[in-house]
Structure 1
């Protein structure tokens, strides 16, 4: 990006900081926003792009759906109001820890693997919340679900960044995040509709299915792009971001 904008000195300083090569400047310069978007669909790139988009949609559906309706759904499972509100605090504390853990894990095992695994664990945790368990066990499950849920979505952005070419990286990450925002709207709506129709007991199951779908989509996308990974180690790219 810096090279395309002619900010070569900044590009060189950043490259030295992370011990990577400065890419050669292209004569055509950076394209406009619509050209850059169209490049995400050239050839068979459209498959990869759509996989990232639907994975992000499901991820943010899960994040905002669970965060919005967790107290209400927990009360529907028979917990007291005070306990249900405490679950929100524990859930968000888990999210903070999750970001730190996921970053380290991605450095070692790769963001695509961590994203897929985290979504699988999130789905399992969300589904378990539909079962009335002892309070201590429930608190542990809520905390672990928070650990995996928030960072699973973040690892989608890291995966898109790693698997995209330098010319399309910013556009790919931006549009993946933007399409995920539709899920951020749909998740709270879905939870509300289930509760309003008297099917609140299906809320956790529906959100668990969203987690599984994101796991499948990000896993397929990672497998498809593994043969054409950009130059530079994944660890360096994740650390840089």
Structure 2
């Protein structure tokens, strides 16, 4: 599930980072406005990483990531339609938060999930598979642009990996995580101490 999430997330990050200006030009916006959209995307990524981290501390990183990916995918779908300038920048910032911001949070989730003995291996595999998505993303988007499809369809295709990533994170089994294992073992240890004291 982590591999799928990393693959899909980095696919979106690099697809948008490489082709967003071109996608917006195809949607009828000027080159200058399209470059500002790229700026909004990265600002959204910064806010998403900080805000998502704060929310993950308050709740849990799994539901936060699931919601972020879902909301980001919906924002990308709406980007395919004409909207007022403020709404447009907001949608792009949300897309940035859900892609760039979520990618940063994914590393944290993996680090929290695995025990220390295999943490580097787990992180390395997830990151390595994710880099395949980083290669596929720009290539796929470039191929889409050569097909000259309606720009709504381009954004819809880029949004689909967001839903897949949300589904992958949703299916991560927290009961197998080191966090849950330590929590489950703690009462047993305390009961043993109490039992030894009584004896």
SS at match of 2:83: coil
User: Match for 1:185 among 129, 135, 151?
Assistant: 135
Gaps of 5+ in 2: 184-199
Q: Does 2:2 correspond to 1:55?
A: no
Deviation larger for 198-207 or 70-79 = 198-207
Corresponding residue to 1:219 among 148, 165, 170: 170
Q: Could you tell me whether the CA contact under 8 Å between 2:112 and 2:178 is conserved in 1?
A: no
Write the distance in 2 (CA, Å) between the matches of 1:223 and 1:208.
Answer: 26
Q: Distance in 1 between matches of 2:66 and 2:48?
A: 14
Q: 1 or 2 for the larger relative contact order (CA 8 Å, sep ≥6)?
A: 2
Query: CA-to-partner distance for each residue in 1:61-88, whole Å, 9 max, x for gaps?
Result: 0111111111111111111111111101
Partner of 1:145: 95
Question: Which of residues 78, 84, 106 is equivalent to 1:156?
Answer: 106
Trace 1:109-188 onto structure 2 (pairs within 5 A).
109-188=59-138
Structure 1 counterpart of 2:180:
229
Q: CA deviation at 1:148?
A: 2.4
Q: Does 1:210 align with 2:176?
A: no
1:197 aligned to 137, 143, 147, which one?
147
Select the structure that is richer in helix.
2
RMSD: 2.0
User: Corresponding residue for 2:34?
Assistant: 84
Name which of 65, 68, 77 aligns with 2:18: 68
Shift of 1:164: 1.2
Distance change (3 Å), C-alpha of 1:231 and 1:65: same
Length, aligned pairs only: 183
Instruction: Tell me how far 1:224 sits from its aligned partner.
Output: 6.1
User: Which consecutive residues of structure 1, in runs of 5 or more, have no partner in the other structure?
Assistant: 1-50, 233-241
How far has the Cα of 1:230 moved from its partner? 3.7
Instruction: Tell me which moved more, 129-138 or 223-232.
Output: 223-232
**Aligned-pair distance for 1:140?**
1.5
Secondary structure in 1 aligned to 2:143? helix
